[in-house]
Amino acid sequence: MAQPLRVCVTGAAGQIAYSLLYSIAKGDVFGPDQSLELLLLDIPPMMGIVEGVVMELSDCSLPLLKNVVATDDYSVAFKDVDAAILVGAMPRKEGMERKDLLKANARIFEGQGKVIDQVAKKTVKILVVGNPANTNCLITKTCAPSIPPANFSCLTRLDQNRAQFQVANRLGVACDKVRNVIIWGNHSATQFPDVKHATVLDNSGQAGPVYGAVKDDAWLQGDFITTIQKRGAAVIAARKLSSAMSAAKAIGDHMRDWWFGTNPDEWVSMGVVSDGSYGVPEGLVYSFPVKISGKEWSIVQGLEISNFAREKMDLTAKELQGEKETALSFLEQ
């Protein structure tokens, strides 16, 4: 069996982590033959809950799980880690302006980024989940200059999974028959779920365009988009709690693909550092379609962008640019 992989999960007392940790420890994410050490980080008031999570992981009697460490110390949590899943963040509270949310999270992810820079492996793969995920990822990257920018990403796979289901449900097919859905931009209400290049497999296994199968452009450019943009709020309205099970599933999907790669004819959506592709300002953490091989992602190139798509992509980029400028202003000089 391979040497244990050191995996840090922050916000370890929270709902997402509770849904995620069993899946990781069981081998669903990093492979059925990969032993693991889990480092669970949270703030001091939550450590009692984290200790309960440690007890439950122990009681699962999982053969791949070699060690679990619960800590509120960044230096312990990120020491020599191979993967860091940054779930914990300051949630938006009633009456809180977005600027206040950005400020609170800038401080959190600045601190984590600096410690990751000092103590994590330089090969560490970092996935930021805590919202606003794109900008929190940007802050972390900015504060960890010795880690390659390509090692940072944020979660938009949940949005992709949501979009994939909506199309599959509309067509009455299994979700895995719908492929190459794209999420462009910010994990926010400005994101652009795009199925212009997506395909669906028919009963004979032949792939055809989603637009041709759905035969309802008005829905694909209207209610479909707004449903995905507002899905998180809809879950909160129904559950009185934010998405947890679905977020944990998306985290597992994201990290597994990062580790093992994508199929040759498929891509997935990840928030990554823009290189200027598709006219997106360089340096923004923006969701693109990517292919992955050897733990390295590359942005899918050459996709035709319609005027409709261009407008949507520019709108979400503008929001991210504003978030970036605001959040960077809060960093210590």
- Residue 179 annotated as binding site: no
- Residue 28 annotated as binding site: no
Check 125, 141, 187, 231 and give the catalytic one.
187
Hey, how many other C-beta atoms are within 10 angstroms of the C-beta on 32? Answer: 9
- Residue 131 annotated as binding site: yes
CA-based diameter of the chain, in Å? 60
- Residue 314 annotated as binding site: no
Whether 187 is a known active-site residue: answer: yes
- Residue 203 annotated as binding site: no
Of 326, 321, 274, 317, the C-alpha closest to 106 is 326
DSSP symbol at 123: T
Task: In whole angstroms, give the CA distance from residue 109 to residue 48.
Answer: 23
Contacts for 316-319: CB closer than 8 Å, 24+ residues apart: 316/184, 316/185, 316/186, 316/188, 316/190, 316/191, 316/192, 316/286, 317/185, 317/280, 317/281, 317/284, 317/286, 319/185, 319/186, 319/188, 319/190
Task: In whole angstroms, give the CA distance from residue 315 to residue 267.
Answer: 23
130 neighbors 105 (Cβ within 8 angstroms)? yes
- Residue 42 annotated as binding site: yes
67 neighbors 58 (Cβ within 8 angstroms)? no
- Residue 239 annotated as binding site: no
- Residue 186 annotated as binding site: no
**Angle, alpha carbons 78-35-151 (nearest 5°):** 40
In DSSP terms, 94 is beta-bridged to none
Task: In whole angstroms, give the CA distance from residue 282 to residue 267.
Answer: 21
Task: In whole angstroms, give the CA distance from residue 205 to residue 215.
Answer: 20
Q: Which residues are catalytic?
A: 187
Q: Binding site for NAD(+), residues?
A: 42, 105, 129-131
Q: Binding site, residues?
A: 42, 92, 98, 105, 129-131, 162
Q: Binding site for substrate, residues?
A: 92, 98, 131, 162
